A and B are shown apart, each in its own frame.
Chain A
Amino acid sequence: EVQLVESGGGLVQPGGSLRLSCAASGFKFSSYGMSWVRQAPGKGLEWVSFISTSNIIYYGDSVKGRFTISRDNAETSLDLQMNSLRAEDTAVYYCARDWGGLIDFWGQGTLVTVSS
């Protein structure tokens, strides 16, 4: 069974940093691209970042230059380092398995709140 379990969310002040992690299991992690997708409270879904099996990386315009995605195939984990956080980054962040742009499995999400 595919499982994606996020951790690391919490309350952070504007301008602060936070690191999210996602523990993957139930599939061959090294064979899949992975994405982060977020959802602001009461809002829709926004793609944040993608990392391929060969570490090719893409970011959405709203996070470019502030967020860094990485993966560890040995540990089957995915990370998202978030710097210079803004109020508008407040959202539930989902770790997602990405098959050529198609998200076929989602974690349960971790809430990030940026507020003073």
Chain B
Amino acid sequence: ETVMTQSPATLSVSPGDRAALFCRASQSIRNKLAWYQQRPGQAPRLLIYDTSTRATGIPARFTGSGSGTEFTLTISSLQSEDFAVYYCQEYANWPPGITFGPGTKVNIK
């Protein structure tokens, strides 16, 4: 089973600043990595898949990068609606299952 870790657990950022969120897999997952955003009281929303492809309707300020075991989600200029929890998820070992990271909470500084 692939274990996913994320850092930092919490990130305090000022609006307009750049944020970098990190995700690590315990073994190579090639490029099979997705990022999700979850705002308070809402369901998760797909942001990025296959490491770097933005989902439909996702703004260009969200960029994914990495390969193998180390991945990064960069938000170039944080907007008020970007303050949320971000989860990474691997799907290299599907089927049977998928694994999520524990999440990074992005707070307003």
Per-position contact with A for B71-109: 1 when CB-CB < 8 Å, else 0? Answer: 000000000000000010101111111111111000000
**A44-B103, A47-B97 in contact; A103/B89 too (CB < 8 A)?**
yes
Residue numbers in B under 8 Å from A74 (CB-CB): none
Known contacts A44-B103, A58-B95; A101/B32 CB under 8 A: yes
Query: Taking the complex as formed, is A60 at the interface, i.e. its CB lies under 8 A from any CB of chain B?
Result: yes
Count of chain A residues near B, Cβ 8 A = 20
Query: Which of A9-17, A18-26, A82-90, A106-114 touches B?
Result: A106-114
Interface size class, chain B: 20 to 34
Taking a contact as CB atoms closer than 8 A, the residue among B42, B87, B98 that contacts A44 in the complex is: B87
CB distance from A96 to the nearest CB of B (A): 9
- Structural contact, B100 and A104, CB atoms closer than 8 A: no
By DSSP majority rule, is chain A's interface helix, strand, loop, or mixed? strand
Determine the distance from Cα of A100 to Cα of B89 in the docked complex, in whole angstroms: 13
Q: How far is the CA of A102 from the CA of B92 in the complex (A)?
A: 10
Provide 17 A-B residue pairs closer than 8 Å at the C-beta atoms, listed in order of the A residue: A44-B103, A47-B98, A47-B99, A47-B100, A56-B95, A58-B96, A94-B43, A94-B44, A101-B93, A101-B94, A101-B98, A102-B46, A103-B89, A105-B46, A106-B43, A106-B45, A108-B42
